[in-house]
């Protein structure tokens, strides 16, 4: 069975420890790496792809250090960088062909692979158009296609849904669900709904550390009893918005209905409600404002 493992992986930039003693085992399935801006997601993914060397710790694939696998690791890896480079004057088809050659896709398979991937990311009609005429969402989809050119067993996507509209997001989810069988797919995002629907396991990352992991149910369970709703007047609503992590705010006539994430009951008449992943996100990543 396919496996990846990070053992005590740390990345120290000059001033900043971007990834801090990160240990994790990945087996087949879809993993959603969720964390706020600057949490260290990109740094972690780049180390997983062997683009960046850890300051300490090791990364293993099927029990072998990736650093020692050399070409073999690249052959089974697909990667979409957060900022992926492309040639604006190339057509979509030309660009994919260029990368397929770089990735040593067997020449006899290149045409059919490109055909299949353009279809999959719904860019077939744009195949002869220059990339500079593409929308942000189209470029992102082209990026997803290039990451899949070598039919990778390990697919790492850094914010694959950035810039996609809601329809494109749904299509992306379906595409990944279909693709992920017998593979490892790891995607980073700060969009809760991306991982809510497709990730088998959710990884919560904060300040370089893995602070929680589990399936959706297990993750959501962690904030059970910490999510409340209450009705308050507008002035109190404003005060609470500063004081607590407020995950929703709805005007109801004179009053305001608040959804609050807090360890303690915020007001006497607050009612405890079922948590969702968005509440978890707030609980872990925006609770700093709470006293
Ligand atoms: N080359 C670098 N040199 C110095 N510091 C860096 C470098 N790259 C990243 N950092 C810092 O490391 C931390 C983690 O950055 P990283 O890009 O990994 O976070 P991220 O979770 O991907 O954020 P985002 O959601 O914004 O993409 C940040 O504080 C960032 O400023
Ligand atoms: Mg990033």
Question: Is the pLDDT at 198 greater than 90, yes or no?
Answer: no
pLDDT at 113: 96
In the predicted structure, residue 290 carries a pLDDT above the cut 50: no
Distance 13 CA to ligand 1 centre (A): 9
**Nearest-ligand number for the alpha carbon of 81:** 2
pTM for the complete prediction? 0.91
Is residue 289 scored above 70 in pLDDT? Answer: no
pLDDT tens by residue, 45-102: 999 999 999 999 999 999 999 999 978 999 999 999 999 889 999 999 999 999 999 9
Residue closest by Cα to atom 8 of ligand 1:
43
Average pLDDT, the chain: 93
Q: Please tell me the predicted confidence (pLDDT) of residue 197.
A: 85
CATH number of the domain residue 240 falls in: 3.30.70
174, 44: one domain: yes
Mean pLDDT of 199-219: 95
Same-domain check for residues 214 and 179:
yes
Long-range CB pairs of 163-169, under 8 A, 24+ apart, other chains included: 163/136, 163/137, 163/139, 164/137, 164/140, 165/137, 168/137, 168/140, 168/141, 169/193, 169/194
Same domain for 169 and 264, yes or no, is: no
Are 246 and 119 in the same domain? no
Q: Which value, in Å, is the radius of gyration of the alpha carbons in the chain? A: 22
Ion ligand 2 neighbours, Cβ < 5 Å:
41-42, 82
Q: What is the CATH number of the domain that holds 141?
A: 3.40.50.300
Q: What is the pLDDT of residue 288?
A: 45
Ligand 1 centroid from CA 36, angstroms:
11
Q: Which domain holds residue 141?
A: 3-221
Output the residue whose Cα is nearest ligand 1's atom 3.
13
Residues 17 and 119 in one domain: yes
pLDDT score at 143: 96
Share of the chain above pLDDT 90, in %: 76
Do 247 and 198 share a domain, yes or no? Answer: no
132 and 71 both lie in a single domain? yes
Neighbouring C-alpha atoms within 13 Å toward the C-beta of 10: 10
Q: Tell which wins on pLDDT, 259 or 289.
A: 259
Q: 48: CA distance to ligand 2 center in Å?
A: 14
Confidence of residue 179 (pLDDT cuts 50, 70, 90): very high
pLDDT at 287 over 80: no
* pLDDT > 70: percent of the chain: 98
Q: Give the Cβ contact number of residue 291 at 10 Å.
A: 5
Out of 170, 204, 221, a domain closes at 221
Q: Are 160 and 116 in the same domain?
A: yes
Q: Do 234 and 111 belong together in one domain?
A: no
Among candidate residues 176, 206, 221, the one where a domain is terminated: 221
What φ, ψ does residue 238 adopt, rounded to 5°? -65, -40
Residue 186 and residue 284 in one domain: no
Residue 286: count of CB within 10 angstroms of its CB: 15
Domain count along the chain: 2
Residue range 208-235: mean pLDDT, rounded: 93
One domain for residues 60 and 135: yes
Quick one: tokens of 177? 């669900």
Q: Is ligand 1 within 6 A of the CB of residue 11?
A: no
- Does residue 291 carry a pLDDT above 80? no
- For residue 263, pLDDT over 70 is answered with yes
> What average pLDDT does this structure show over 41-46?
98
Pocket flag, ligand 1, residue 43 (CB < 6 Å): yes
Closest residue to atom 1 of ligand 1, CA basis:
13
118 and 96 Cβ atoms separated by less than 8 Å: yes
Pair 213, 236 in one domain: no
Domain end position, chosen among 204, 221, 238:
221
């Amino acid at each position: 069975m396919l496996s990846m493992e990070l053992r005590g992986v740390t990345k120290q930039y000059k001033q900043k420890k971007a990834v801090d003693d990160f240990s994790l085992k990945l087996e087949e399935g879809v993993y959603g790496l969720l964390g706020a801006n600057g949490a260290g997601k990109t740094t972690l993914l780049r180390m997983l792809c062997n683009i960046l060397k850890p300051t300490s710790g090791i990364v293993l694939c099927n029990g072998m250090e990736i650093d020692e696998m050399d070409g073999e690791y690249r052959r089974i890896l697909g990667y979409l960088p957060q900022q992926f480079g492309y040639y604006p004057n190339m057509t979509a088809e030309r660009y994919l062909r260029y990368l397929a050659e770089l990735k040593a896709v067997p020449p006899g398979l290149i045409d059919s692979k490109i055909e299949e991937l353009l279809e999959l990311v719904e860019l077939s009609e744009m195949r002869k158009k220059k990339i500079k005429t593409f929308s942000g969402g189209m470029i992102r989809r082209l990026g997803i296609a290039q990451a899949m050119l070598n039919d990778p067993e390990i697919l790492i996507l850094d914010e694959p849904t950035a810039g996609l509209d809601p329809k494109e997001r749904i299509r992306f989810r379906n595409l990944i669900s279909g693709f992920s069988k017998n593979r490892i797919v790891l995607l980073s995002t700060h969009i809760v709904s991306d991982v809510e629907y497709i990730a088998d396991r959710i990884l919560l990352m904060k300040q370089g550390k893995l602070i929680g992991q589990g399936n959706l149910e297990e993750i959501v369970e962690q904030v059970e009893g910490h999510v409340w709703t209450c009705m308050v007047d507008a002035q109190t609503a404003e005060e609470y918005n500063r004081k607590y992590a407020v995950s929703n705010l709805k005007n109801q006539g004179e009053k305001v209905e608040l959804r609050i994430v807090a360890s303690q009951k915020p007001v006497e008449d607050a009612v405890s409600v079922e948590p969702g992943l968005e509440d978890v996100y707030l609980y872990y990543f925006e609770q700093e404002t709470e006293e």
